[in-house]
Every structure is written in structure tokens, then in C-alpha cells.
Amino acid sequence: MKKKLKSPDELSFDLETSLNSDVSNLEIDYVSLNQANGLELEKLKGRKQDRKERKKYALHIFRFIWIWCGGILLIMVAIGLGYLKFDNSVIITLITTTTANILALFVIVANYLFFRPKK
């Protein structure tokens, strides 16, 4: 459908109304742009904090695993040198459960640190 052209006599120039609507639209655009930028900044801050916390807890868990393994190693050395006396089934259980715990803890931490968001 073609727009009918108006003659100059039919045109109305209400300058104040058109300026107010233009300014209002600019304000709305400016506010929505600032809100979008603010949300993006908050997301970036959250991700940065997540990375910092992950590094901290990964280091704590890594140290815990090393201390745990060191303790088991000391127990095994003490058993080998004769300072501790355990039945073979106790030693096997100790080694098996320790290995399972360390591997499970490692898998949990690795999945947390290197998670992939679901799409």
C-alpha cells in the first residue's frame, strides 16, 4: 500500500513532541545499554571470582592428597621396617581404600575445575 503524499498545507510541525519522543527514545536506549553492560560486568566479575576460588580449593585439595599419600607411605615404611604389625588383609584394605579415595577425590576436583556447561 502506497503512502499518500501530503501537501505542504496539510503538514504539521509539532517540534516539541518530536524532540521529546526522540530524547525519550535515546534515554531508553542509553539506560538499556548501561544495564546490559552492567550485567556483563557482573558476569565477568563472577567468573573471575570463580576462577580464583577454584585455584585456591584445588591447591588445598592437592596438598591434602599429598599429605594423605605421605601418611600412607609412612605407614607402609613403618610396616616394612617392622615398627608396625598388621595383618595382610588390613594392609590390602588400607592400600585399596586409599587409592580409591584419592582417585575419587581427584575426579571430583577435576570435574569441578574443568566443567563443561550443558547446552
3-state secondary structure of 10: coil
Q: What is the mean pLDDT of the chain?
A: 78
So what's the pLDDT on residue 13? 54
So what's the pLDDT on residue 89?
A: 93
Any idea how long the chain is? 119
CB 102 within 8 A of CB 69: yes
Mean pLDDT of 12-16: 53
pLDDT exceeds cutoff 80 at 60:
yes
pLDDT computed for residue 103 by the predictor: 86
Q: Report residue 8's pLDDT band, with 50, 70 and 90 as the boundaries.
A: low
What is the per-residue pLDDT for 26?
65
Position 119 scores a pLDDT of 65
Give the cell for residue 43. Answer: 558476569
Model pLDDT, residue 85: 92
Give the CA dihedral 19, 21, 25, 30, nearest 10 degrees. Answer: 50
**Is 70 exceeded by the pLDDT of residue 32?**
yes
Alpha-carbon distances of 76 from 11, 84, 90, 97, rounded to whole Å:
98, 9, 11, 14
pLDDT band at 101 (very low <50, low <70, confident <90, very high): confident
| DSSP H or E run through 39 | helix 15-81
Domain boundaries along the sequence of the chain: 16-113
Average pLDDT over residues 61-87: 89
